[in-house]
Chains A and B, each alone.
Chain A
Amino acid sequence: MPGRVRRSPLKSPERAYLALGLEGSANKLGAGVIKHDVDGSSTVLSNVRHTYITPPGEGFLPRDTALHHREWALKVINDAMKNAGVSIHDVDCICYTKGPGMGAPLQSVALVARTLSLLYQKPLVGVNHCVGHIEMGREITGAQNPVVLYVSGGNTQVIAYSRQCYRIFGETLDIAVGNCLDRFARVINLSNDPSPGYNIEQEAKKGRRLLPLPYATKGMDVSLSGILTSTEALTLDKRFRADNQTRGPEDQDVFTPQDLCFSLQETVFAMLVEITERAMAHIGSKEVLIVGGVGSNERLQQMMGIMAHERGGRVFATDERFCIDNGIMIAQAGLLSFRMGHQTPLLKSTCTQRFRTDEVHVAWRA
């Protein structure tokens, strides 16, 4: 990348730092403990998560999700501390997801974070969920300055770093790609265990027909709700065979749920690859980092890899422990922020459903 190399404002710590991170913006409740050592390395001491899984055909609603988080919070935190082998007395700060996400679940986790902060007299650090994903992706993969594709059930953004800010180059104009996939999974009644997106990926591997779906990139952005409507409408088409059975030897022009999964994935992933490529061309980057729950989809990683390879670049991705919402990413981003002197006073430790990625001052990078 052009420009002089700036020295990082983040110095190696004079002692080891520990942080506890709590995440609960969607249906995953996570707690993790991270350690920053004097040599500048980061170690994951524990990463515990429990997911609220709804029956097939149903999504998760704020009230029930918050109830799930309230039921599981204490157990998940206890397990995280036990696996890490440290006590909350030893951590330097308690990090929690300030946003974006669903209101009630976020607030439930924030209440626990505040209580622990007062009980143990530890400072609170409110963390942006998207920045958490990015920082964990950077830490795990070691990518230097990639274009980040952040794709999950709640967010779809193309992000690049410049001058202490994660700038959004392109994003979805309506719904997130994970939301699109999950809602289609509900229409065809796929199981939500372990996650609807995973099951769509498995079904798509059995698809054989690529059906025409609207391809909706809008400049640097994408629009996904139209594609979802079209795909759902195709399930009402008279050629659709939900049971994978043809009606007779003449029944040739038919398609199955697997074909629809395959077509949907190919179309939306191609769109995401396109807007990522536009950002790469815009800033002359050769690295792509995929973060967020949908980033664990191997077909997306493969398609992105083909594009990156054609441009002489490469793709970085993490596995489902760090891709899918987790507490350790909140601990990582929170501790980086804390080491640069940032804390969230108790009275300001609210949560917000809308928290833009570029609102965060990335003090720990040059």
Chain B
Amino acid sequence: VRIPFATAHHASIAKQVIEVDRELQPQAVKRVLEVQDDVLVATFSTLTVRLARLTLNAFLENVDLVVRTISEFGADSERRPT
């Protein structure tokens, strides 16, 4: 799955945030997250189609939350030097 971001920095943030949590069934689901330019690339391999559906749904919900957070606070976070 390829998720484009506005900048490489944002894509990297999303990768770091999502990869902290382990997959619920690490023995049945393999996940690899990487950033290519400003795109977050997630590669999943699962034992069953059902697991693929569940894993992908959860991943997309998490990505959606991170994207909305960056969208809401991203501009403000860059406005002032910390």
- Main SS class of interface, A: helix
Q: Which residues of A contact B (CB under 8 A)?
A: 70, 73-74, 78, 87-89, 107-108, 110-112, 114-116, 118-121, 346-347, 349-351
**Do residues B69 and A74 form an inter-chain contact, with CB atoms below 8 A?**
yes
In-complex Cβ contact of B16 among A89, A108, A118 (8 A): A118
Q: How many A-B residue pairs have CB under 8 A?
A: 64
Interface residues of B in 2-46 (CB under 8 A from A): 13-14, 16-18, 20-22
How many Å lie between the Cα of A87 and that of B14 in the bound state?
22
- Main SS class of interface, B: helix
How many Å lie between the Cα of A87 and that of B22 in the bound state?
32
Chain A residues contacting B22 (CB-CB under 8 Å) are 350
**Do residues A78 and B72 form an inter-chain contact, with CB atoms below 8 A?**
yes
Q: Looking across the interface, which residue of chain B has its beta carbon closest to that of A108?
A: B65
How many Å lie between the Cα of A28 and that of B8 in the bound state?
34
Q: Is B56 interfacial (CB 8 A cutoff)? A: no
Q: Is B48 interfacial (CB 8 A cutoff)? A: no
Q: Looking across the interface, which residue of chain B has its beta carbon closest to that of A74?
A: B72
**Do residues B66 and A119 form an inter-chain contact, with CB atoms below 8 A?**
no
How many Å lie between the Cα of A115 and that of B76 in the bound state?
13
CB distance from A97 to the nearest CB of B (A): 15
Q: If A73-B65, A89-B82, A108-B65 touch, does A120 touch B77 (CB 8 Å cutoff)?
A: yes
How many Å lie between the Cα of A280 and that of B73 in the bound state?
48
Most B CB atoms within 10 A — which of A89, A107, A118?
A118
**Do residues A111 and B66 form an inter-chain contact, with CB atoms below 8 A?**
yes
